[in-house]
Structure formats: C-alpha cells, structure tokens
C-alpha cells in the first residue's frame, strides 16, 4: 500500500458556489506535491477538506486506505495528517515548548513524559528555535511564528504534511532558509502537499504538481510538463487579465 492519500471526486459547495468540484487526486508515500492555481481556485478549500476542517458535500476521502470522509479534524489528525495555516496560527498564551507539545501529545503517537520532551526538543531544533523553548509564543516575530507552526506540525510525527503557503511573506534570505528547511524534510521521506505561489520554490521542491482552476483539477503531472501546459498558462494569464 503506497497510496497515502486518495480523494475521489471530492466536492464542496457553499450555497450556490462550488469551491471544489469533483477533485480526484492520489498522493503516494514519500511524494511531494505542489498544489497551484490562481486565487480563489479552491486550493485552500481542498486542504481544508483533506484536513477535516470542512466536510465534503460529495466524494470520498481516503487516508492510508481508511475512509475518513466527513471525519472530524481531530480524527484526521490522529490518522497522521498535520497542517499549517494560510494565516499563521500559533497558540499565543503558551510557550514555544508547549505549542509544539500539543500535537505530539494528542496526535497519532500520543506521547507523554520523556518521549514527549525528546520529540519537542527535536522538532524545535529542526526549525532552529530550541534555544527559545521557554519563551511565550506571542513574543515571536512573523518568520519565527511560521517556524514554530512548522515545528508544531512536525511534532505530530505526521504521515502527511499539508503546508498552506508556508513560504508566503518571507523576505529573500528567509525564503532561502525556508526552502532549505523543507528540502531537509523531503529528504527524510516525509509526504508533503504544499499550496504555493512562489514558482521558484515549487520548481525547487516539488517533482510533481497539480493545478486547480475554479474548483476543478486542470493538470496533474511532472512539474516541468505541468508548468508548460497551455491550459495552465491560460489559467494564470486569465487571472492577470482580470
């Protein structure tokens, strides 16, 4: 069983608007998929469907073979899906250490005591925040909040990591560091789906790309081929015209 995630004709309607329209996608273990598309094309909605924040109107969601269609977010998190948020969400009244503890303690591994401490330290070290573990999360600068959010997602020990524009809003130096960080995660064999607008990052990090436009999946394949696909180019140019 190498298929980690399968969405089968996943659909989400808000009233009359179909935000995600029959998306069928398969991600294998160890794959890194870039999810592209113009603003409002349904990428974040799809991420919300996969992580359980939204319940699909139609279609099925399978994670590692088990049917989690319509499951609550905590069940999906326990199945090994971790995520970051488009608008960074830290837990301001908790320390960095406590922030990172949360998914390790409640996620798939349910750690407590010494193994929990070890996991927390390891994840904070990965993102370079170990020295500030005892500080309140509300004191962090934006880039460090992003780092903390990533450390928190990693602490779950995820099988699938969902990054929603994690690289957005970083300056060139930070972007360089961020790309390096994700590449190291890739090298550990982690399966990642990343929504991203920064093309250089997509080319550098994602061997495979899927493109959405007005809720539909319009391309899926090797990144170079997808990016030169006329439909994809038209979708992006169309947006720039508007």
Q: Could you give the residue ranges of the DSSP H alpha helices within the chain? A: 43-51, 73-78, 96-106, 114-127, 142-155, 172-187, 199-205, 223-227, 230-241
Shortest approach of other proteins to residue 105 CB, angstroms? 6
Shortest approach of other proteins to residue 91 CB, angstroms? 4
Quick one: 141 or 242, whose CB is closer to other proteins?
141
Give dist(CA 193, CA 2) in Å, integer.
Answer: 16
Question: CB–CB of 41/34 below 8 Å?
Answer: no
Shortest approach of other proteins to residue 15 CB, angstroms? 8
Shortest approach of other proteins to residue 46 CB, angstroms? 15
Quick one: 132 or 216, whose CB is closer to other proteins?
132
Quick one: 53 or 198, whose CB is closer to other proteins?
53
Quick one: 52 or 59, whose CB is closer to other proteins?
52
DSSP for 128-176?
T-GGGTTSBGGG--HHHHHHHHHHHHHHT--SEEEEESTTTT--HHHHH
Give dist(CA 35, CA 197) in Å, integer.
Answer: 9
Quick one: 82 or 170, whose CB is closer to other proteins?
82
Shortest approach of other proteins to residue 239 CB, angstroms? 21
Contact residues toward other proteins (CB under 8 A) are: 14-15, 51-53, 72-74, 77-78, 82-83, 85, 89-94, 98, 101-103, 105-108, 112, 131-132, 135, 139, 152, 156
């Amino acid at each position: 069983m190498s298929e980690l995630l399968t969405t089968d004709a996943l659909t989400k309607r808000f009233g009359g608007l179909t935000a995600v329209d029959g998306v069928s996608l398969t991600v294998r273990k160890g794959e890194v998929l870039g999810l592209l598309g113009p603003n409002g094309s349904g990428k974040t909605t799809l991420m919300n469907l996969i992580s359980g924040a939204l319940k699909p109107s139609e279609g099925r969601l399978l994670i590692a073979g088990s049917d989690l269609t319509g499951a609550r977010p905590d069940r999906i998190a326990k199945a090994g899906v971790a995520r970051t948020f488009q608008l960074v969400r830290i837990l301001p009244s908790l320390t960095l250490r406590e922030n990172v503890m949360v998914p390790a303690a409640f996620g798939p591994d349910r750690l407590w005591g010494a193994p929990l401490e070890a996991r927390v330290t390891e994840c904070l070290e990965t993102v370079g925040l170990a020295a500030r573990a005892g500080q309140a999360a509300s004191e962090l600068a934006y880039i460090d909040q992003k780092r903390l959010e990533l450390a928190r997602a990693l602490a779950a020990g995820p099988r699938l990591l969902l990054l929603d524009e994690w690289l957005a809003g970083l300056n060139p130096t930070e972007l360089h560091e961020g790309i390096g960080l994700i590449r190291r995660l890739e090298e550990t064999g982690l399966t990642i789906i990343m929504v991203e607008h920064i093309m250089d990052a997509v080319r550098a990090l994602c061997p495979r790309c899927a493109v959405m436009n007005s809720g539909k999946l319009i391309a899926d394949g090797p990144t170079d081929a997808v990016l030169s696909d006329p439909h994809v180019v038209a979708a992006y140019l169309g947006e720039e015209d508007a």
